[in-house]
Amino acid sequence: MTRNVSQSNALYERAKAVIPGGIYGHYGYFVRDTGPKFFSRSNGSCFWDVDDNEYIDYMCAYGPMILGYNHPKVDEAALKQLKAGNTVSLASPQLVDLAETLVDMVTASDWALFGKNGGDSTALAAMVARAATGRRKLVKIKGGYHGVAAWMQAKSNPGMTPSDSLEVIEIPWNDIDALRLVIDHYPDDIAGFISSPYDHPVFADNSLPAENYWAQIESICREKGIVIIVDEVRTGFRIHLNGANNEYDFTPDLICFGKAIGNGYPLAALTGSDALKQAAQDVYFTGTQFFNAAPMAAAKATLLELQNIDGTNVMIDYGTRFKKGLSDIASSHGYNLKITGVPAMPYFRLTNADPQIHAEWIDQCVGHGAYMLANHNNFISTAHTEADMKRTFEIVDKAFKTLGPPPPQSTNTA
């Protein structure tokens, strides 16, 4: 089924005339011809496009929406602070309140600094690791995404020079030997190891840490004085409320947060251990908007509400049942649906259908009102209801019916 998206398309044409690419960045990469492109409003787990089609949103704004759109407690806190003042010549007490809340909640943290985007926190983490160790190099996971800063982009991206990422070494995910090899090669020059808690690339199955992976990383890094940076910008509060390291049993030195920390209000944070506090004080880190008080009030309300409702477990429970339901529906139509990643961030792949059929299946789901992406992990929020799950199962069933059975010998190994 294709919905009427004519208003979206008309806006897109206008956008292309005055905005490079029309819609840019990650929103642009996943624009689909027949799909919605602009929203008119949002509420709870849903948004409406400018053609007034309703969607249950399983992208959650690519992660920030964790408690539901227009969450009353979060919005009230933000609006109250907005009226009192947002960007003022002094810092707001909200800064201190939020830092205390975050440090109380995230077990591996003794302090917090705040920026706006996830990339602010990963860039800060890199500086802190280098300042603390006096070393230059960073080890990251191949394909791991940590933001748009030049040092994190692929050398081949337009606008990059090879020197931008000269000090960044990539190793495969879940490969301890590769880390050992890199350390043998640069015994005294690795400042930090940066990775998401698990591997969540686009266009490929997501992969959880192998047993003992993080414990081994921890012991190697401790022995060699390498700072362990966990990038929780995407996973934050969707694996463990107190930090994903509690799920995978290790203690990082620095944790990067962004996206969901303010339920959509712009805020990012870096938290760290006492041992790195001086380095975090020494590095140069600031931004005109870093002290906006309303997003800080929103973030504090978000964190308190997540604690209050045991939000992470609510999402894990929904995600676990969602996964089972979707796989069962797929099987009943002859499809194998592989779902990877953690329960609150499912990545879908139909293994016995080629990638075009997989994309068509997702388009059908979107066309019937469940907003998902084919080649990026999806997100669950605490606002997704039982009625949403039931409705989504009906939509997914319809989508498979429209597709018909999988063609013989069709596969998707992406």
Ligand X SMILES: Cc1ncc(COP(=O)(O)O)c(C=O)c1O
Within 107-146, the residues that bind ligand X by CB under 6 A are 117-119, 122, 145-146
- Closest approach, Cβ 288 to ligand X, in A, equals 16
Nearest-approach distance from CB 310 to ligand X, in angstroms = 24
| Residue whose CB is less far from ligand X, 27 or 393 | 27
Stretch that binds ligand X, among 181-189, 203-211, 226-234, 397-405 (CB under 6 A): 226-234
Pick between residue 302 and residue 412 the one whose CB is nearest to ligand X.
Answer: 302
Distance linking the first and last C-alpha atoms of the chain: 26
- Which of 98, 233, 370, 380: binder of ligand X (CB under 6 A)? 233
Nearer to ligand X, 260 or 374 (CB): 260
Binders of ligand X in range 49-68 (CB under 6 A): none
Contact residue for ligand X among 243, 252, 258, 406 (CB under 6 A): 258
Nearer to ligand X, 289 or 411 (CB): 289
Q: What is the rounded CA–CA span in Å between residue 395 and residue 397?
A: 5
**Which stretch in 53-61, 229-237, 272-280, 343-351 sits in contact with ligand X by CB under 6 A?**
229-237
CB of 114 to ligand X, least distance (A): 13
Q: Which residues contact 310 (CB under 8 A, 6 or more apart)?
A: 241
Query: Shortest distance, CB of residue 230 to ligand X, whole angstroms?
Result: 10
Count of residues touching ligand X (by CB under 6 A): 12
Residue closer to ligand X by CB (options 200, 358) is 200
Question: Contact with ligand X (CB under 6 A): which of 140, 234, 238, 240?
Answer: 234
C-beta of 243 vs 258, nearer to ligand X: 258
Residue nearest to ligand X (CB): 118
Please tell me whether residue 199 binds ligand X under the rule CB under 6 A.
Answer: no
CB-based contact 139:179 (threshold 8 Å): yes
Looking at the Cβ atoms of 141 and 303, the one nearer to ligand X is: 141
Give the chain as a 3 state SS string.
CCCCCHHHHHHHHHHHHHCCCCCCHHHHHCCCCCCCCCEEEEEECEEEECCCCEEEECCHHHCCCCCCECCHHHHHHHHHHHHHCCCCCCCCHHHHHHHHHHHHHCCCCCEEEEECCHHHHHHHHHHHHHHHHCCCEEEEECCCCCCCCHHHCCCCCCCCCHHHHCCEEEECCCCHHHHHHHHHHCCCCEEEEEECCCECCCCCCCECCCCCHHHHHHHHHHHHCCEEEEECCCCCCCCCCCCCHHHHCCCCCEEEECHHHHCCCCCEEEEECHHHHHHHHHCCCCCCCCCCHHHHHHHHHHHHHHHHCCHHHHHHHHHHHHHHHHHHHHHHCCCCEEEECCCCCCEEEECCCCHHHHHHHHHHHHHHCEECCCCCCCCCCCCCCHHHHHHHHHHHHHHHHHHCCCCCCCCCCC
Nearer to ligand X, 43 or 289 (CB): 289
Q: How far is the CB of 268 from ligand X (least distance, A)?
A: 6
Shortest CB 117 distance to ligand X, Å: 3
Does position 196 interact with ligand X (CB under 6 A)? The reply is yes
Tell me: does residue 231 bind ligand X (CB under 6 A). yes
Q: Please, which residue, 169 or 256, has the CB nearer to ligand X?
A: 256
Least spacing, CB of residue 336 vs ligand X, in Å: 27
Nearer to ligand X, 86 or 196 (CB): 196
Least distance from C-beta 233 to ligand X, angstroms? 3
Binders in 324-383 for ligand X, by CB under 6 A: none
What is the phi-psi region of residue 43: left when phi exceeds 0, alpha when psi lies from -120 to 50, beta otherwise? beta
Residues making contact with ligand X (CB under 6 A): 117-119, 122, 145-147, 196, 231, 233-234, 258
